[in-house]
């Protein structure tokens, strides 16, 4: 059995070490656990939803090509002259500060019909001078792309475009904006997204605009959720910026971008990774791939939406657009610009860029600095140490408290880093590791406790009840059969008149009667944490305080005895129904220092108690008949179980003892006795005081009053008899009021 327990402990240790190492390798990026990555994403989304600010940013307005606009202005794409008019209205009439487009204009606009007119000019009407003259005058007005480019020119406008990882054999469309910088000799470029092709704006439009940025997201997670967005990508030998970064730089006057790198993970300088972008005094935290965590302010509606048709018609409120940053985008269902995000399953793509720009302006971007991985690994190591070192050495209750406290601290620390320090740290990994390690503790602990319980059962099962074995197995206390001295409470009970019963009843009936009495009596003793020592004929010997320590052993013993007396009272009707005689029982209890342990011979051993305190308990049981009571305890028990009310019976010397003791009859809990009982106890105290001071008349009067109220109480008659004797034969002058018993 010892080897089995050792095997369980060893495997528990190995399981904890293995899991801790596995999760540390996952955190370090050397081993991927897909399930854990999925759980990290779920926890990330939950944390984000719990901490979003849910406020409106008044600085940014979205001019929305929505269903209403399409219904009024026609289907998309609109003609470029209409787009030119939209731009002119936004700048000239509404006075906006900056304009960005979350749409791309990759194809020429031929809706004006100028191509057909040109064909006529080179065909059947090529000799018509009047036609050619009018065509020359109309051409500037019919070149819609030129009109749109003119509206963009010399204004803070930023166009969007689409990049792709599809093979570069596919033809590149349009013109890319001016790159942020050259990618040549950048040691971190290998970690960036490398575009293979693009769909950009017409050269005439991109050349007229101040800047441009890509609006697609190549970093969509495997579950299709937008959580990260790169601010830079690489195409051939240049770095290009995202639309939100382009808008941010446009606000600052198009400053240069420099790079903040970290060599924490680098074996050589060439291996250094990107850690941030520095723009005009602002430091933007990014990961090694130049990506940021999209800083959602809340669900759709964190920015004011204004219908594009209301801008074209001049019906939009001027104050709602004046000096604002405007992003033109679409929420119309047919234009398919919705994204799945942590805050909403269908979220407008244009609002993603608005969220990023808002956080760039406020410098509230969350980051994952390179050093955070080391902190996360240290956190996992600490969790592993707690599970390995602390959990096996504390009780289940204490381990549950430690688990709850540390788990709460882990979650609270993660939220503190997120909300206060703007640092993103892994949450699912430490939480799941901690839960798994605690689960292992419970799993192996169950088998260890089962083994321990069986071990205790093998040792103590023949002496104590199974319930106590279970309680011992759940305790951290060490148990053995070796003898020791400790303060305990011993119990003796005896069936009154058993000798007479045994002579009048058949053996089978006598056995049934004893079993009917002993079974509920034993159950009560067990229920009150007592240990049955032995059955001696019609007597029961039990004790409290071993093998488990019990600080309330005296109270438990007294309560058990009172319950037994009550049980016998209710049992009388059952005995009468079987034509069995009425049963009465005397009980004696004493508290004191006793020797407890496995005692006997090499042929038979018993876990029992011995000592003067045990003998006194037996003597007290014998006195119950002389005082006409069912239950007597010593003064040490009365003091140790002070939550009960007692009736003082006498001061006595029992047979074989020189030192007198005071004996009591327990009546019940102090809070449960009646007012009349309290009055009787007070009178009894006065009567005993007068008796011991040899004030016979006063004592006689009080005892007589008590006997009159309780004519069947033998105690008062006993004292009236003693008073009569002492009046005829007064005690000696040094009499101490103690009655000496000469028999057991």
Q: Based on the number of CB atoms within 10 Å of its own CB, is 221 exposed (0-12), middle (13-18) or buried (19 or more)? A: middle
Integer Cα distance of 304 and 554 in angstroms: 76
If one compares 456 and 546, the residue with the highest pLDDT of the two is: 546
pLDDT bracket for residue 172 (50, 70, 90): confident
pLDDT bracket for residue 665 (50, 70, 90): very high
Query: Could you read off the pLDDT of 160-171 as tens digits, one per residue?
Result: 999 987 765 567
Integer Cα distance of 628 and 623 in angstroms: 9
- What average pLDDT does range 428-437 have in this prediction? 90
The overall longest dimension of the chain from CA atoms, in Å, is 166
Query: Could you read off the pLDDT of 280-303 as tens digits, one per residue?
Result: 989 999 988 999 999 999 999 999
| Mean pLDDT lowest among 362-376, 601-615, 665-679 | 601-615
If one compares 498 and 238, the residue with the highest pLDDT of the two is: 238
pLDDT bracket for residue 458 (50, 70, 90): low
Cα–Cα separations (whole angstroms), residue 142 to 88, 112, 139, 171: 17, 5, 5, 29
Answer yes or no: is pLDDT of 2 > 50. Answer: no
The answer to whether 205 touches 148, Cβ cutoff 8 Å, is yes
Secondary structure of 72-114 in HEC code, one letter for each residue: HHCCCCCCHHHHHHHHHHHHHHCCCCEEEECCCCCCCCCCCCH
Q: Based on the number of CB atoms within 10 Å of its own CB, is 319 exposed (0-12), middle (13-18) or buried (19 or more)? A: exposed
In DSSP notation, 318-339 reads GGGTTT-EEEEEE--GGG--EE
- What average pLDDT does range 661-689 have in this prediction? 94
Instruction: Write out the two tokens for 721.
Output: 């008899």
- What average pLDDT does range 354-371 have in this prediction? 91
- pLDDT on residue 6: 52
Which of 605, 597, 637, 598 is CA-nearest to residue 492? 637
What is the fold, at CATH topology level, of the domain defined by 478-673? Answer: Alpha-Beta Plaits (3.30.70)
DSSP 286: -
pLDDT bracket for residue 446 (50, 70, 90): low
Contacts of residue 530, Cβ cutoff 8 Å, sequence gap at least 6: 491, 542, 543, 544, 556, 557, 560
- pLDDT on residue 444: 61
Contacts of residue 276, Cβ cutoff 8 Å, sequence gap at least 6: 259, 260, 283, 284, 285, 286
If one compares 470 and 495, the residue with the highest pLDDT of the two is: 495
Does the reported pTM lie above 0.75?
A: no
Contacts of residue 731, Cβ cutoff 8 Å, sequence gap at least 6: 694
Which of 735, 732, 707, 738 is CA-nearest to residue 720? 707
Q: Based on the number of CB atoms within 10 Å of its own CB, is 408 exposed (0-12), middle (13-18) or buried (19 or more)? A: exposed
| Mean pLDDT lowest among 30-44, 125-139, 259-273, 303-317 | 125-139
Give the pairing of strands 98-101 and 325-330. parallel
Count of positions (residues) in the chain: 744
109 phi, psi to nearest 5 deg: -95, 115
Integer Cα distance of 586 and 582 in angstroms: 14
- What average pLDDT does range 44-67 have in this prediction? 94
- pLDDT on residue 132: 57
Instruction: Write out the two tokens for 235.
Output: 């195409």
- What average pLDDT does range 361-386 have in this prediction? 89
- What average pLDDT does range 141-157 have in this prediction? 89
First to last CA, the chain: 48
8 phi, psi to nearest 5 deg: -65, -45
Query: In the chain, pLDDT over 70 holds for what percent of residues?
Result: 85
Beta bridge pairs of residue 101: 328
- What average pLDDT does range 26-51 have in this prediction? 90
- pLDDT on residue 696: 93
- pLDDT on residue 369: 83
Answer yes or no: is pLDDT of 342 > 60. Answer: yes
Integer Cα distance of 523 and 386 in angstroms: 42
- What average pLDDT does range 686-693 have in this prediction? 93
The answer to whether 357 touches 325, Cβ cutoff 8 Å, is yes
- pLDDT on residue 482: 54
Domain range summary for the chain, segments of one domain joined by +: 2-32+371-456, 60-362, 478-673
- What average pLDDT does range 80-98 have in this prediction? 95
Taking each continuous run of H as one helix and of E as one strand, the counts in the chain are 23, 27
Query: Could you read off the pLDDT of 299-313 as tens digits, one per residue?
Result: 999 999 999 999 999
pLDDT bracket for residue 653 (50, 70, 90): confident
Buried b (16+ CB within 10 A) or exposed e, 10-33: eebeebbeebbebbbebbeeeeeb
Instruction: Write out the two tokens for 302.
Output: 């964190």
Secondary structure of 509-564 in HEC code, one letter for each residue: HHHHHHHHHHHHHHHHHHHCCCEEEEEECCEEEEEECCCCCCCCHHHHHHHHHHHH
The answer to whether 666 touches 562, Cβ cutoff 8 Å, is yes
Which of 738, 744, 593 is CA-nearest to residue 659? 738
The answer to whether 308 touches 331, Cβ cutoff 8 Å, is no
Integer Cα distance of 274 and 292 in angstroms: 12
If one compares 722 and 188, the residue with the highest pLDDT of the two is: 722
Answer yes or no: is pLDDT of 376 > 70. Answer: yes
Which of 605, 652, 604 is CA-nearest to residue 627? 652
- pLDDT on residue 4: 46
The answer to whether 201 touches 161, Cβ cutoff 8 Å, is yes
Query: Could you read off the pLDDT of 175-223 as tens digits, one per residue?
Result: 999 999 988 778 788 889 999 999 999 999 999 999 999 999 988 888 8
Integer Cα distance of 105 and 160 in angstroms: 9
Which of 205-214, 377-386, 503-512 has the highest mean predicted lDDT (pLDDT)? 205-214
- pLDDT on residue 174: 93
- pLDDT on residue 408: 94
Answer yes or no: is pLDDT of 78 > 50. Answer: yes
- pLDDT on residue 187: 79
Answer yes or no: is pLDDT of 508 > 90. Answer: no
Query: Could you read off the pLDDT of 97-135 as tens digits, one per residue?
Result: 999 999 999 999 876 655 555 555 566 566 566 655 655
DSSP 581: P
In DSSP notation, 128-185 reads -HHHHHHHHHHHHHH-HHHHHHHHHTTS-EEEEEEEE-S-TTSPPBSB----SEE-TT
- pLDDT on residue 168: 58
Answer yes or no: is pLDDT of 612 > 50. Answer: yes
- The mean pLDDT of the chain is 86
Integer Cα distance of 54 and 46 in angstroms: 15
Give the pairing of strands 325-330 and 157-164. unpaired
Integer Cα distance of 297 and 526 in angstroms: 63
């Amino acid at each position: 059995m010892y080897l089995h327990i050792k095997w369980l402990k060893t495997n528990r240790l190995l399981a904890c070490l293995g899991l801790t190492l596995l999760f540390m390798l996952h955190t370090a990026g050397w081993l991927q656990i897909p399930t854990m990555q999925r759980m990290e994403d779920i926890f990330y989304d939950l944390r984000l939803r719990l901490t979003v600010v849910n406020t409106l940013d008044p600085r940014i307005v979205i001019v929305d090509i929505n269903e209403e606009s399409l219904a009024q202005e026609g289907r998309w794409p609109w003609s470029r002259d209409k787009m030119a008019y939209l731009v002119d209205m936004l700048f000239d009439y509404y006075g906006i500060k900056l304009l960005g487009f979350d749409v791309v204009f990759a194809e020429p606009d031929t809706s004006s019909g100028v191509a057909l007119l040109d064909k006529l000019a080179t065909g059947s009407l090529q000799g018509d001078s009047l036609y050619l003259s009018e065509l020359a005058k109309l051409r500037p007005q019919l070149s819609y792309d030129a009109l749109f480019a003119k509206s963009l020119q010399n204004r803070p406008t930023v166009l969007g475009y689409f990049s792709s990882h599809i093979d570069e054999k596919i033809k590149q469309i349009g013109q890319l904006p001016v790159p942020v910088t050259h990618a040549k000799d950048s040691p971190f470029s290998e970690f960036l997204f490398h575009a293979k092709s693009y769909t950009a704006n017409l050269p005439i439009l991109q050349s007229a605009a101040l800047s441009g940025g890509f609006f697609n997201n190549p970093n969509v997670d495997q579950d299709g959720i937008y959580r990260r967005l790169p601010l830079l990508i690489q195409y051939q030998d240049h770095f290009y910026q995202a639309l939100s970064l382009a808008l941010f730089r446009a606000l600052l006057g198009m400053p240069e971008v420099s790079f903040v790198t970290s060599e924490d993970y680098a074996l050589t300088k060439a291996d250094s990774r990107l850690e941030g972008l520095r723009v005009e005094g602002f430091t933007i935290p990014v990961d090694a791939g130049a990506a940021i965590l999209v800083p959602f302010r809340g669900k759709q509606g964190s920015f004011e939406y204004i219908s594009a048709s209301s801008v074209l018609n001049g019906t939009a409120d001027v104050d709602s657009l004046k000096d604002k940053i405007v992003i033109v985008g679409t929420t119309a269902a047919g234009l398919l610009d919705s994204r799945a995000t942590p805050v909403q399953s269908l979220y407008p793509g244009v609002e993603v860029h608005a969220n990023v720009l808002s956080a760039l302006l406020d410098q509230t971007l969350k980051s994952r600095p390179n050093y955070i991985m080391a902190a996360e690994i240290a956190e996992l190591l600490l969790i592993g140490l707690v599970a390995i070192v602390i959990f096996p050495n504390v009780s289940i209750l204490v381990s549950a408290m430690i688990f709850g406290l540390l788990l709460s601290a882990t979650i609270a620390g993660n939220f503190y880093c997120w909300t206060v320090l703007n640092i993103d740290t892994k949450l699912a990994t430490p939480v799941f590791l901690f839960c798994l390690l605690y689960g292992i503790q419970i799993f192996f602990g169950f088998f260890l406790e089962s083994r321990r319980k069986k071990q205790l059962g093998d040792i103590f099962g023949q002496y104590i009840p199974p319930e106590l074995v279970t309680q011992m197995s759940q305790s951290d206390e060490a148990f053995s059969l070796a003898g020791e001295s400790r303060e305990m409470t011993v119990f003796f009970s005896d069936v009154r008149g058993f000798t007479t019963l045994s002579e009048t009843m058949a053996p089978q009936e006598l056995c049934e009667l004893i079993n009917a009495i002993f079974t509920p009596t034993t159950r009560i003793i067990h229920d009150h944490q007592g240990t049955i020592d032995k059955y001696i004929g019609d007597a029961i010997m039990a004790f409290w305080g071993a093998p488990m320590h019990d600080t309330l052993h005296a109270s438990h013993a007294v309560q058990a005895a009172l319950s037994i007396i009550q049980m016998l009272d209710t049992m009388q009707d059952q005995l009468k129904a079987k034509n069995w005689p009425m049963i009465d029982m005397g009980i004696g209890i004493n508290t004191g220092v006793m020797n407890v342990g496995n005692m006997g011979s090499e042929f038979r051993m018993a876990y029992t108690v011995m000592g003067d305190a045990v003998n006194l308990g037996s003597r007290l049981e014998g006195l119950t008949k002389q005082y006409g009571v069912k239950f007597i305890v010593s003064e040490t028990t009365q003091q140790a179980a002070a939550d009960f009310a007692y009736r003082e019976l006498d001061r006595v010397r029992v047979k074989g003892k020189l030192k007198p003791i005071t004996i009591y009859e327990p009546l019940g809990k102090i809070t449960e006795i009646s007012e009349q009982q309290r009055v009787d106890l007070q009178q009894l105290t006065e009567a005993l005081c007068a008796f011991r001071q040899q004030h016979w008349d006063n004592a006689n009067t009080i005892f007589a009053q008590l006997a009159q109220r309780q004519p069947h109480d033998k105690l008062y008659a006993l004292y009236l008899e003693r008073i009569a004797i002492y009046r005829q034969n007064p005690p000696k002058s040094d009499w101490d009021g103690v009655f000496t018993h000469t028999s057991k």
